[in-house]
Amino acid sequence: MSIKKTHPPDRSLAVQVTVIALIFLVGGRAACAKQAPMWELGAGIGHIRFPDYRGAESISDYRVGFPYLVYRGDRLKLDREGFRGLLFESEHWKSDFSIDGSVPVDSDNGGLRADMPDLDPALEVGPSLVYEFSRSSARTVALHLPVRAVIATDLRKAHLEGWVFHPHLRANYWGRFNFGVSAGPLFGASSYHRYYYAVDPDYATPERPAYRPDGGYSGFRITLSVSRRFGRLYVGSFLRYDDLSGAEFADSPLVETERAVMAGVSMAWIFAESDRMVTIAVNER
């Protein structure tokens, strides 16, 4: 496993874990099939580019190797949506878990956070309620209602930093290439907004006044993805756009821009798979 960043990271292990999770969890869907191996094992490489935090102008590039793991159990699943435990499922409704994350921010690199405490990488995890408007062999359209706790950690200690709620519509289409698009607002607790955008009086300067945001609206997000499976080779990419205009923290002195873009590409080679085949739903990865 290897990782290369355009500026040297101080907490490389935390960065590796977070970036691997982002590349593994975010991207396009694999080809639709009625029968698939119960498990698949492989390895991949990826390149991901994103701001240090939403609203920052500083951009980081990461190149990373990651494991490609898929498990398609009846109730437990591990795929490009992460580890999921299916809580219940009906004709249109289902409930499982959703995961997201962010990388650490080193304040010693300068910028608006100079001389402030570093930000640990954050893992977002929690239940998601999903309503499928339509499902066919070629496409799905669904409303996702994930609520996630935000846990910041340097892999030695962890602390809860509030919660986020990201209702969004997601549509997927499977053909020779597999396309996905999702769009929706974000909402965050006051403690979540303060973790990234508050300026305590001890760290205030004439150019960076003290600031304490409230909870509420946290911006609007659109994510596009495309992927294709060539035999044992998987290739995928994504583009994510955040609009922070009108967010509760938009007037924070730590916000440099109201536009945030994240993008990434990855490929993986599947070198082992189960002889046992299972029937999967058309909207499973």
The pLDDT of residue 13: 54
Phi and psi at residue 214, to the nearest 5°: -95, 175
- Give tens-digit pLDDT for 225-276: 999 989 899 999 999 999 999 999 999 999 999 998 999 999 999 999 888 8
Average pLDDT over residues 132-160: 87
The pLDDT of residue 17: 56
Which residues make Cβ contacts (< 8 Å) with residue 141, sequence separation at least 6?
132, 133, 134, 169, 170, 171
91 confidence band (pLDDT: 50, 70, 90): confident
The pLDDT of residue 87: 61
Lowest-pLDDT choice from 16-20, 148-152, 271-275: 16-20
